Amino acid sequence: MENKYNGITYETLEKAASGDFDAMQEVIKLLKPYMTRLSIEDGRFNNELFERLVRRLMFITWKFDLHYSEK
């Protein structure tokens, strides 16, 4: 049974955090509608803001710690 959270499997998130290009594209694809809405300023789409959000998402995904422990 696949463990999915918001359409992303744990395996996909693990691959994206490890630098897998296709897995990262899947993560971006899932969050693209949300980032698109955030990129609208004064009724116009701001492409520069959208690209910054995508880069930030990629950075956060790569820094994501899959081996969390409560210490």
Q: What is the pLDDT along the chain (71 residues), one digit of tens a residue?
A: 455 556 888 889 889 998 899 999 999 999 999 999 999 999 999 999 999 999 999 999 888 776 655 55
Q: What is the pLDDT of residue 1?
A: 45
Q: Is residue 2 part of a domain?
A: no
Domain that holds residue 46: 7-63
Q: Is residue 1 part of a domain?
A: no
Q: Is residue 50 part of a domain?
A: yes
Q: Return the closest-CA partner of residue 32 out of 60, 54, 1.
A: 54
Q: Is residue 46 part of a domain?
A: yes
Q: What is the pLDDT of residue 66?
A: 66
Number of domains in the chain: 1
Q: Is residue 71 part of a domain?
A: no
* Per-residue b or e along 35-61, where b marks 16 or more CB atoms closer than 10 Å to that residue's CB: beeebeeeeeeeeeebeebbeebeeeb
Tokens found for residue 64: 């994501």
